[in-house]
Structure 1
């Protein structure tokens, strides 16, 4: 984490924009009459603000080229594990974030101030959707060179109720652009600044470089002329829409957003294709204890003596399912061994293959084995010719390589009394637990679901519960987010691993849903489940991966298999989007995240101080938490920063804040393709009935959710409520009218805590009262079970004492 993204020396990445000659060779600057602010933009000298598609310049695999990533000849010089560095991790991406706020830097001379009101005025900062050259979807733009803007599509709306807002940065030397809705994935946008931007001396000026590029200046080298063609294409594309003129434009920059569905869509296709092979996923149930088990019989389940007898109505079984593993396996016990376990593609990427064919003038002969497989799987777009060193999964290389298979334990429950079993079998709910939790923790919900007539199935997330990794075979897991460290799954040391852990969770849910179809045939005990009536419940991390799972499961693929993936309704509790931002602002996890970031930023003086403190003072201050790595990090960071504040060390505190902000930008950029905000719109469009419960607090001193906040200060698209809004959920505080139409709803709870869905126990971190927490559990479980049983037709809200108005 030593390198951060926001201050990039990009000249090394802009192959062809430098080469010994720069635009300084041809600049003819006139003497300024009076000082004025200007936009920082001089690519050949490494001065640009990100996001900016100029960092795709020279790409051979369709991913961004980041300084330090490439040799002079354009080949990749670093190993897979080096992409653990957050700034280098962005070099594995096929685009920029769809939701992160970004800044455009200004040069502001002494005595000059930017007019903040002008920045916020619609028309000063504008964003346009465009189609770029070499388009695969627009025939008009297919033959236009890549990197050249072909045509404008539409202008986005500037405003709080629109697509984005703009405001002056806190330092007065940058323009902050903040998306209010997520941008489309795999789409190019051009951000434009106009003469509507004002400073204390008049209009903000373009940089001298940009002025030359937009005019017919006598540029010298082919590289300079190429950059001029790019800038002119940007302006031509946006002015073609007739809402802005070239004379008004003082800056333009393109950004292409990362892909979202391509890779996970390929996973679903691979699962569907396995149906005709011996590798198809099958949820099987072996022989169970002769007397049978109920949840009440299980040791270690936190049930009170009063409530445990009720769980005798919940039959408990164990099954298993074998699913593809796309994650690599660590070869050592140190956490650093996880750094290169992120997904890799099966084939060479399409950009490299196209470049090879263009350079050689013909299509090479097929080689036996993986080359033939890649050609068949991709319809000829992908090959395996040894062209792609790292094989990053992307929209240009979407087929992940299975590195093995996991035999995954499956937890199954069903009503013990089968008297009322429907003729079609018990409807099924797939349950997915939260981070640092395990599938068994979802058993607290099974009584309510059993009473509503449901069977349930659940598996652990990767690196959780029974799916930890024991490297040396000593019987103790070396990597397990449930028992060791949350960072084994939400891996801040290697963001690509964190992203692909989230992807693997979704892939496993897709495989479990598909394998569920065969449970009635693959069992040693009599079962009758209605595998065509399947719903989903996700808690915490389960709610983070849930929207993606539902969007992928319910998106049409082929009429012969669509029903085998279908999810009838979904319920989410305590989830959220904008993962990086909500982690940073989480009351529970925020200090842990910041501690990891600060400890790794060893180029900062305050980082050295913090690491010294971890080795000495923290043992004294936080030794009582030594057995819990997360609690220890939380205590150590909070205590250390409190000491800085008490000493008035604003410089050190400012350095920490800046470092964390930079990390959050890089982290969200990398995690974006797995973030639920990018699937939320699809869930809405598909019309899948959805329920969501969010603890906003407010009653009896009850705090809001202390793990995933309802909203965040740094990003309006981060938190629980923004995700609910993007899924089109209607906020209700009383039972909606029953009119025969399925609905999708979000209910805000004034009492309760992050895990109220699962346990009525009191959580003192959340404040409030024990009675309020217990009542919230009873209410949310009743709401959720009825909503799923009615497929969104009914949502009973019966205890308004725990509901926020």
Structure 2
């Protein structure tokens, strides 16, 4: 990790897009007699708050243009590996975050302070959803360029029960805008600051525009093409707003458009690619070779899990058959070239084709006559897969996977082990229903065996695979039998890659793609097994734990969404997933990682080490080499535990020294990183797939350990909420966005409609679904944790077996009220 995102340092992307002598003259000629607060906005000098669609200016591929990314001819001047830089990583995106709070910077002269109450009042900040040019719904909009606003669609609601709130930052230098509900994906919004924002002088004077913004909003002709282009953009915003009759021109102080990222296009393309393999030799299939009898009890002993179970349960596990199968999974992540951690930096997904923006621009420039494809190109495939919209003509240097280029290139095929269990009792006539189980981060598929007894007793067979870079799917680069990269045995950062955020995002998307392939591959399991199996592969449910719950909304939504291509309709039943049970998941990945009691210090350590230009970073580096070795010697055997100890001890020392400046620098750096990382991770974040889960109406159950009883702190890995950092992060907001009903008593459907529930637990810990063991970090009691496990497993098994019609809550002592 190199430098961090600097929200106001964007001059390289906007050189010549304002300023020049004309803007400088205006600034010199419009000095106010008395100082008045204004909005920071001067693109020619690199002063602009993000998110802002001005950073799409000059885009060649529909992605953001970030400082340092492009040369003077708007061509990439950095390598793929350079996008490991958190700020440059934004240059691979087709839009901004749907959920991150953002700031608009202010110029406040000495002695002038903004009245915080006016910022937090309705009408101070207003946000409008807008249709932009090239929008096909109206002829007038279709005739405008995509950079220009055409019309207002609706206005968002202000307030804690609405869509967003606003507040003055603690230093008085920024206006914070905080989404209470996520913005829609792939949608443009205009944020407006109004004259209702006032200072505390002479009864309150209104906030004013910057001189640059004042110039751009006027009709006066400007000098350069870039200036005129930016003027047209700003004036289109204000015209659309005023035309809606929701606001007058006199009320507007500042406007900024932001287009949110697309989310479903890429994974949707993968589902289509998988469907196209059906009945071909490339179709994923779960195969099972002949093997000796092994019970789940045997595996409990082998994996060291037997100690967590009472003898009667261990004995019962002897009645569950354990098998090992395999499946060939298409991998869109490229393999690292060597065993150094930096080798992961450029393994993020690459598109198969030239993006649609580049193809359209080249077609227009060539008068409709594009060059012939080079020998060996994928041009024919690209045209077939995209209905002629995408080509492979060497037009796209970076080939970022976006809504304009949604088809990823398959890099290799992983031979992934599949864990299979089923009861020894005779199968029902239709075969054993199947549960796909997906484990958590730093865990492995074998850890899900802790749930198999409850599921087997309910009559289920189970299948599980490792996430990429976990368990048996680590990467051994040099072939010596030892993995260089494995999040289960080496470092969590191999998967949740904070050194390369695009890789972290695509690890998450690869997990989803693998589950879709596994779901399709299950249909071969009976025929392709050399061990007699009778599985009902048309009756498949899902259980996700931790990371398995994070990727679940994307997987479930895409598995159950209908194909838009009529030719693929017959494949829909082969992907369908029934009821799902999620445990200890959460949304707002960057935010909950920062707030996590377990991972937060590890994340902050990585961020602080990466911000090498900060004095406090150098001080921390020295501490890691010297003081931490002694202070944290008890944790020397665990890199994560050592990092947590070192960070917490270092910050405690700063607090003891009264070094508030260093603490403030750390917090600001972490905030900047959280903004950049969440923005990059957004297209894989479960919050953006929660509405799709509601749309497909998949029965859903979720358990969350919120704590409360016996000093139980609640989940220390993924917190229930990430307040006050972000109201949309954590487990509880995800459950709410999926439309789950919080219940504290047993539920039974009376009309045959499956219920969709979330149960909050006062006892237990992050992994209670799988193990009754006591977790000291969480607190509470050993008995309470064991009871929580029993209650969770009973709820999951019964809910899935009843197809969501029944949810038993039998031990009220572990349920939060």
Q: Are the aligned partners of 2:589 and 2:678 in contact in 1 as well (CA < 8 Å)?
A: yes
Equivalent in the alignment of 2:560: 554
Match of 1:394 in 2: 402
Higher alpha-carbon deviation: 614-623 or 256-265: 614-623
Match of 1:141 in 2: 141
Q: For residue 89 of structure 1, report the CA deviation from its aligned partner.
A: 0.4
Cα displacement (A) at 1:296: 3.7
> 1:335 aligns to what?
341
Deviates more, 1:584-593 or 1:24-33: 24-33
Aligned to 1:111, the other structure's residue is in SS state coil
Partners of 1:746 and 1:588 lie apart in 2 by 23
Q: Secondary structure at the match of 2:421?
A: strand
2:582 alignment partner, SS class: strand
CA contact (8 A) 1:15 1:57 kept: no
- The equivalent position to 1:655 in structure 2, one of 649, 656, 665, is 665
Contact 1:11 1:18 in 2 (8 A): no
Match of 1:778 in 2: 790
Please state how far the C-alpha of 1:292 moved relative to its aligned partner. Answer: 4.5
The C-alpha deviation readout for 1:331-388, integer Å capped at 9, x for no partner, is 1111111000100000111111111111111232553540111111111111111111
- In 1: Cα distance, 2:573 partner to 2:137 partner: 28
Q: CA offset at residue 285 of structure 1?
A: 1.1
- When structure 1 is superposed on structure 2, of 276-285 and 650-659 the one drifting more is 276-285
Query: Is this contact kept in 2: 1:296–1:310, CA < 8 A?
Result: no
By how many angstroms is 1:314 displaced?
Answer: 1.4
What CA distance in whole angstroms lies between the structure 2 residues aligned with 1:661 and 1:535?
A: 38
2:295 aligned to which of 293, 296, 319: 293
DSSP-derived class of the 1:614 partner: helix
> Which of 480, 489, 497 is the aligned partner of 1:483?
489
Q: Which moved more, 1:380-389 or 1:722-731?
A: 380-389
Quote the residue 1:710 is aligned against: 720
Greater alpha carbon shift after TM alignment, 620-629 vs 137-146: 137-146
In structure 2, the residue matched to 1:760 is 772
In the TM superposition, what are the counterparts of 1:296-695 in structure 2 within 5 Å?
Answer: 296-298=298-300, 299-303=302-306, 304=309, 306=311, 307-364=313-370, 366-367=372-373, 369-418=377-426, 421-557=427-563, 558-695=568-705
- Structure 1 297/44 Cα, relative in aligned 2: closer, same or farther at 3 Å? closer
Distance 1:132 1:537 in 2: 41
What are the superposed Cα offsets for residues 266-317 of structure 1, whole Å, 9 maximum, x if unpaired?
111100111142101111111121x443444551241235131110121111
Task: Supply the distance in 1 between the matched residues of 2:452 and 2:140 (Cα, whole angstroms).
Answer: 55
Cα shift readout 1:587-639 (whole Å, capped 9, x = no counterpart): 00000000000011100011111111112222112223222111111111111
Partner of 1:219: 222
Structure 2 SS opposite 1:203: coil
Equivalent residue runs for 1:224-243 within 5 Å: 224-243=227-246
Distance 2:599 2:539 in 1: 36
Aligned partners of 1:533 and 1:567 also within 8 Å:
yes
> Partners of 2:734 and 2:289 in 1: how far apart?
39
- Answer yes or no: is the 8 Å Cα contact 2:15–2:43 preserved in 1: no
Q: Please give the alpha-carbon distance, in whole angstroms, between the structure 2 residues aligned to 1:276 and 1:308.
A: 42
Secondary structure at the aligned position of 1:782 is classed as helix
Using a 3 Å threshold, how does the CA distance of structure 1 residues 271 and 13 change in structure 2: closer, same or farther?
A: same
Contact 2:18 2:230 in 1 (8 A): no
| C-alpha spacing 1:704/1:294, structure 2 compared with 1 (3 Å) | closer
For residue 728 of structure 1, report the CA deviation from its aligned partner: 0.3
Change (3 A) 1:137 1:384: farther
Q: Using the alignment, how far apart are the partners of 1:26 and 1:703 within structure 2?
A: 57
Q: Report the TM-score when normalising by structure 2.
A: 0.96
- Per-residue deviation, residues 23-67 of structure 1 (Å, max 9, x unmatched): 224557444242211111111221110000000000001110011
Q: How does 1:2-401 map to 2 (within 5 A)?
A: 2-14=2-14, 16-18=16-18, 20-21=20-21, 23-26=23-26, 29-135=29-135, 140-201=140-201, 202-289=205-292, 291-298=293-300, 299-303=302-306, 304=309, 306=311, 307-364=313-370, 366-367=372-373, 369-401=377-409
The answer to whether the 8 Å contact 1:693/1:749 transfers is: yes
Per-residue CA deviations over 1:82-113 (Å, capped at 9, x if unaligned) read 10000000011110000000000111111111
Distance 1:491 1:733 in 2: 38
Residue 815 of structure 2 corresponds to which residue in structure 1? 803
Match of 1:724 among 714, 735, 738: 735
Q: Distance in 1 between matches of 2:294 and 2:612?
A: 56
SS of structure 1 residue aligned to 2:127: strand
Secondary structure of 2:632's aligned partner = helix
Displacement of 1:736: 2.2
**3-state SS of 1:412 partner:** strand
Contact preservation (8 Å) 1:535, 1:568: yes
Q: Hey, what's the Cα distance between the residues in 2 that align with 1:101 and 1:317?
A: 47
What displacement does 1:239 show?
2.2
* Distance change (3 Å), C-alpha of 1:330 and 1:55: same
Please provide the CA RMSD for this pair.
1.4
Output the CA distance in 1 between the equivalents of 2:140 and 2:690: 30
The SS at the match of 1:581 is helix
What is the CA–CA distance in structure 2 between the aligned matches of 1:138 and 1:552, rounded to whole Å? 30
Looking at structure 2, the residues matched to 637 and 404 of structure 1 have their Cα atoms a distance apart, in angstroms, of: 39
Deviations 1:561-597 (A, max 9, x none): 1111111111100000000000000000000000000
**Partners of 1:711 and 1:720 within 8 A in 2:** yes
The DSSP-based 3-state class of the residue aligned with 1:559 is: helix
Change in Cα spacing, 1:20 to 1:204, as seen in structure 2 (3 Å) is closer
Q: 2: distance between equivalents of 1:35 and 1:18?
A: 24
3-state SS of 2:278 partner: helix
Helix, strand or coil at the partner of 2:794: helix
| Contact 1:428 1:530 (8 Å CA) reproduced | yes
**How far does residue 240 in structure 1 lie from its aligned partner after superposition?**
2.4
Kindly provide the CA deviation profile for residues 145-178 of structure 1, in whole angstroms up to 9, marking residues without a partner as x. 1211111111111111111111111111111000
CA distance in 1 between counterparts of 2:22 and 2:473 reads 54
Contact 1:544–1:575 (8 Å) recurs in 2: yes
Q: Does residue 1:790 correspond to 2:802, yes or no?
A: yes
Relative to structure 1, the CA distance from residue 152 to residue 256 in structure 2 (aligned partners, 3 Å threshold; closer, same or farther) is same
Q: Is the 8 A contact 1:425 1:530 kept in 2?
A: yes
1:637-676 per-residue CA deviation (whole Å, 9 max, x = no partner) reads 1111111111111111111111000000000000000000
Provide the C-alpha distance between the structure 1 equivalents of 2:404 and 2:227, rounded to a whole number of angstroms.
Answer: 28
Asked if the contact 2:7–2:48 (Cα under 8 Å) also holds between the matched residues in 1, the reply is no
The whole-number CA distance in structure 2 between the counterparts of 1:154 and 1:8 is: 29
**How many equivalent pairs are there?**
802
Q: Contact between 2:434 and 2:460, CA under 8 Å: does it hold in 1?
A: yes
Is 2:371–2:393's contact at 8 Å kept on the other side of the alignment? no
| More deviation, 356-365/779-788 | 356-365
* Contact map agreement 2:372 2:393 (CA 8 A) in 1: no
The 1-side partners of 2:22 and 2:266 are apart by: 39
> 2:420 and 2:143 mapped to 1: Cα distance?
54
